[in-house]
């Protein structure tokens, strides 16, 4: 379910990007006061529940989204009809960057956790991109970083045996605030990320708990405490 927090003009109320708590991480970090005068379309704040699709493959690309909080998966369908998670986005990442180059979105963006996003109309970004070199450079940087992250994600998490893949995901998803804490997803999502069967993922996580590499912190099996980073970095078969 979508909850609209803000639908007024940009820079008013909760859509005040000048006061954004993660502004240094997002597209508008380098904007100057005069740049704000170029913005006339609404920039809205939204909250989405787990499982909500922010954008869909093939849908008309009308906006970009800055992820302020939460985790989003980018999903693409393979030639044989399977779904593969090609990247996970977190706070500061931009959803739908392809809208700057193509008329449609090229992946599904689905909330893995409750998320907060800012919806940036495409015309706002296009105008700032034309008239504000600072934003143009930031967009180029975000584009380059997103391509690198996607390549790294696929390379890192599709290498090795099941233990190595699950261990790699655990290490990647550690909290920036507390690296000993990791929040994971459904076993189905983890299987789609790692190209492993659900049963294999569940069995591997159980083995890691039994061996003392991780410790469950909730009854749902989503949050763990990392107990042995060294062994996770070089897990044996």
pTM, full prediction: 0.72
Collapsing DSSP to helix, strand or coil, 63 comes out as: strand
pLDDT, residue 10, reads 36
Kind of pairing between the strands at 2-6 and 83-89: unpaired
Q: Do 106 and 8 fall into the same domain?
A: yes
Average per-residue pLDDT for the chain: 78
**Domain span including residue 225:** 158-233
Residue pLDDT, tens place only, 108-167: 999 988 999 988 888 877 777 777 776 667 666 776 676 677 667 666 677 789 999 999
11 with 54, same domain: the answer is: yes
CATH of the domain at 168: 1.10.10.10
Residues 139 and 164 reside in one and the same domain? no
Q: Is 149 inside a domain boundary?
A: no
Residue 79: predicted pLDDT:
78
pLDDT tens-digit map of 51-83: 999 999 999 999 989 888 888 999 988 777 777
Ranking 5-9, 78-82, 188-192 by mean pLDDT, the lowest is 5-9
Average pLDDT over residues 154-183: 84
CB of 55 closer than 8 Å to CB of 162: no
CB atoms within 10 A of CB 117: 24
Where among 93, 116, 144 does a domain terminate?
A: 144
Most distant CA pair in the chain: distance in Å?
59
The total number of structural domains in the chain stands at 2
- The answer to whether residues 54 and 109 touch, using CB atoms and an 8 Å cutoff, is yes
């Amino acid at each position: 379910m979508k909850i609209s927090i803000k639908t007024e003009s940009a820079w008013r109320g909760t859509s005040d990007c000048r006061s954004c708590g993660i502004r240094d991480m997002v597209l508008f970090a380098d904007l100057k006061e005069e740049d704000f005068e170029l913005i006339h379309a609404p920039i809205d704040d939204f909250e989405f529940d787990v499982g909500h699709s922010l954008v869909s493959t093939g849908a008309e690309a009308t906006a970009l989204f800055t992820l302020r909080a939460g985790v989003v998966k980018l999903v693409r369908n393979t030639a044989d009809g399977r779904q593969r998670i090609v990247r996970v986005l977190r706070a500061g990442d931009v959803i739908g960057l392809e809208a700057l180059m193509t008329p449609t979105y090229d992946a599904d963006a689905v909330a893995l956790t409750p998320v907060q996003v800012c919806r940036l109309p495409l015309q706002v970004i296009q105008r700032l991109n034309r008239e504000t070199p600072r934003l143009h450079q930031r967009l180029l940087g975000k584009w380059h970083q997103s391509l690198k992250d996607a390549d790294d994600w696929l390379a890192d998490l599709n290498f090795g045996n099941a233990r190595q893949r699950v261990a790699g995901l655990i290490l990647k998803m550690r909290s920036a605030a507390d690296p000993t804490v990791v929040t994971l997803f459904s076993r189905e999502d983890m299987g789609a990320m790692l190209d492993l069967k659900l049963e294999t993922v569940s069995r591997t996580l159980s083995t890691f708990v039994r061996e003392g590499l991780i410790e469950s912190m909730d009854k749902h099996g989503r949050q763990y405490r990392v107990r042995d980073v060294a062994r996770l970095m070089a897990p044996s078969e």
